[in-house]
């Protein structure tokens, strides 16, 4: 969740805490109990504000799954931004996240981006240490291919339980890659082939960040895709947001959407995706896909 005010180093205020409390309350009302964070969100303020919420709500920590990420260093105007999965850095970032979140354990830690300069042996040692100390219960990755995950898993003594990727009706490379095989357009898809299949075969949950497509199809737009989403929502007696999430959840990989919004109204608009099975037919799912891609399938 994008909590904590602005994307800069301006300190968060009481209004930011109140907004976070409203967002968390809406999420719980919608049936959402997994909360996704990252050490870089709002330059650490997102974790800090969420920690404030946890400290003020008795029993909340025990009711939720707390997930966060590490591995990215943002530019500070002097040093460049980079990816850093060196062992000591992972441990340090986790300790800092625990302090900001005001908790003694992280339920799921995701490695935010692959770091080409750090070998899997060093990463494995850090994860094993964090698990052994009881600081992190489970681990996963984000934005990694099947080959990268397999290479890392070969050195781990703890399982990987999740891979978080950008997936939505707008960002469709994950599904396009599977049907563009043996076509001239195959090279246009940047999604690594076999990643979905590898994750599902190895019990690695696929999490979709950007699942609501940045509001592109739910804000009353007049594009063909937005109109179709609205039409289906009316027909199914639900919201456009739910239709977008159902489109992901209808896939046999049982993709878990990550809701990035902190607006209570948009969070509550997703509740049917929690409480109802995806109600898109085979034809409706394909209709959404082909309309969004702006042309027929190969």
Section 92-101 average pLDDT: 99
pLDDT at 266: 96
pLDDT at 115: 99
Asked whether residue 74 is assigned to any structural domain, the reply reads yes
pLDDT at 197 over 80: yes
Instruction: Summarize pLDDT for 143-165 with one digit per residue, the tens.
Output: 999 999 999 999 999 999 999 99
pLDDT at 182: 78
Asked whether residue 183 is assigned to any structural domain, the reply reads no
Instruction: Summarize pLDDT for 170-182 with one digit per residue, the tens.
Output: 999 999 988 888 7
Instruction: Summarize pLDDT for 100-123 with one digit per residue, the tens.
Output: 999 999 999 999 999 999 999 999
pLDDT at 238 over 90: yes
pLDDT at 91: 99
pLDDT at 76: 87
pLDDT at 72: 98
| Number of domains composing the chain | 1
Q: Which CATH number belongs to the domain containing residue 138 in this structure?
A: 3.20.20.100
Question: CB atoms < 10 A from the CB of 126, how many?
Answer: 23
Asked whether residue 162 is assigned to any structural domain, the reply reads yes
User: Which residues constitute the domain of residue 153?
Assistant: 14-166
pLDDT at 298: 86
Asked whether residue 89 is assigned to any structural domain, the reply reads yes
pLDDT at 186: 63
Q: What is the mean pLDDT of the chain?
A: 95
Asked whether residue 273 is assigned to any structural domain, the reply reads no
Q: Rank 188-192, 195-199, 221-225 by mean pLDDT and report only the highest.
A: 195-199
**How far apart are alpha carbons 245 and 31 in whole angstroms?**
15
Q: 0.85 exceeded by the pTM?
A: yes
pLDDT at 183: 79
pLDDT at 21 over 90: yes
Asked whether residue 19 is assigned to any structural domain, the reply reads yes
pLDDT at 189 over 80: no
Asked whether residue 282 is assigned to any structural domain, the reply reads no
In contact, 292 and 52? CB cutoff 8 Å: no
Asked whether residue 53 is assigned to any structural domain, the reply reads yes
Section 64-93 average pLDDT: 96
Question: CB atoms < 10 A from the CB of 170, how many?
Answer: 17
């Amino acid at each position: 969740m994008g909590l904590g005010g602005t994307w800069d180093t301006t300190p968060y205020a009481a209004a930011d805490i109140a907004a976070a409390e409203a967002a968390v309350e809406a999420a719980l009302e919608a049936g959402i109990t997994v909360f996704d964070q990252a050490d870089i969100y709002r330059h650490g303020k997102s974790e800090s504000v969420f920690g404030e919420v946890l400290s003020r709500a008795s029993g909340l920590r025990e009711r939720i799954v707390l997930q966060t990420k590490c591995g990215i260093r943002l530019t500070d105007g002097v040093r460049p931004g980079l990816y850093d999965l060196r062992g000591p850095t992972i441990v340090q970032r986790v300790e800092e996240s625990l302090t900001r979140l005001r908790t003694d354990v992280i339920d799921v830690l995701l490695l935010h981006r692959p770091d080409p300069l750090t070998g899997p042996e060093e990463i494995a040692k850090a994860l094993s240490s964090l698990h052994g100390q009881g600081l992190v219960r489970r681990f996963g990755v984000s934005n990694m291919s099947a080959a990268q995950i397999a290479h890392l898993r070969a050195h781990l003594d703890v399982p990987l339980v999740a891979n978080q990727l950008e997936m939505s009706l707008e960002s469709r490379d994950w599904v396009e890659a599977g049907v563009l095989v043996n076509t001239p357009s195959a090279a246009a898809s940047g999604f690594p082939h076999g990643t979905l299949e590898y994750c599902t075969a190895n019990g690695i949950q696929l999490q979709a960040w950007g699942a609501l497509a940045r509001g592109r199809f739910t804000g009353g737009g007049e594009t063909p895709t937005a109109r179709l989403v609205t039409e289906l929502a009316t027909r199914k007696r639900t919201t456009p947001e739910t239709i977008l999430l159902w489109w992901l959840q209808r896939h046999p990989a049982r993709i878990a959407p990550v809701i990035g919004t902190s607006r209570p109204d948009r969070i509550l608009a997703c509740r049917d995706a929690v409480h109802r099975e995806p109600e898109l037919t085979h034809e409706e799912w394909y209709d959404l896909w082909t309309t969004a891609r702006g042309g027929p399938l190969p």
